[in-house]
């Protein structure tokens, strides 16, 4: 194998690895078009999840989410939680800022807004269980 073929092969492998890492690869038909029923089922679930989330947000939380994709929730303890579809940052009342991670144990994919709503409701209903269950590490500002 000559150098240009090796470089092209390595480039293709790296490109595919990046696509997989970022979840861009999708099931396609032979002509490269997404299966329409998969796309509509997914977008319909995401739409319903967004509608359900919005029914559980106060007007100020909804505006915050629409503008910044963040929902601020203050727990019973006074801790301030900043929830996004991908992350949770908490500012503890007694000091300190942490990232927290808690995910549902399920096999099928769930729309991000459903997961965000579950986190919000858990913090509001039982903050101590949330704190005991979630993994926590110090927030690092780069």
Tens of pLDDT, residues 44-61? 999 999 999 999 999 999
Q: Name the token pair of 53.
A: 């989330």
Strand ranges of the sheet holding 71-74, from the earlier edge strand across to the other edge: 71-74, 80-83, 88-91, 97-101, 135-138
pLDDT confidence of residue 62: 97
How far apart CA 117 and CA 47 sit, in angstroms, is 14
pLDDT confidence of residue 24: 34
How far apart CA 41 and CA 27 sit, in angstroms, is 14
pLDDT confidence of residue 96: 83
Delimit the domains of the chain by residue range: 35-138
pLDDT confidence of residue 125: 95
Q: Is the pLDDT of residue 97 over 90?
A: no
């Amino acid at each position: 194998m000559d150098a240009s073929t090796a470089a092209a092969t390595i480039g293709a492998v790296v490109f595919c690895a990046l696509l997989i890492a970022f979840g861009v690869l999708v099931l396609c038909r032979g002509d490269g078009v997404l299966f329409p029923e998969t796309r509509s089922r997914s977008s319909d679930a995401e739409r319903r999840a967004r509608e359900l989330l919005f029914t559980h947000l106060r007007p100020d939380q909804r505006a915050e989410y629409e503008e910044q994709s963040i929902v601020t929730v203050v727990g019973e303890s006074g801790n301030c939680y900043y929830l996004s579809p991908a992350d949770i940052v908490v500012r503890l009342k007694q000091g300190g800022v942490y990232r927290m991670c808690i995910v549902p144990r399920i096999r099928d994919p769930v729309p991000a807004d459903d997961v965000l709503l579950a986190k919000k409701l858990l913090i509001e209903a039982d903050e101590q269980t949330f704190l005991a269950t979630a993994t926590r590490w110090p927030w690092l500002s780069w």
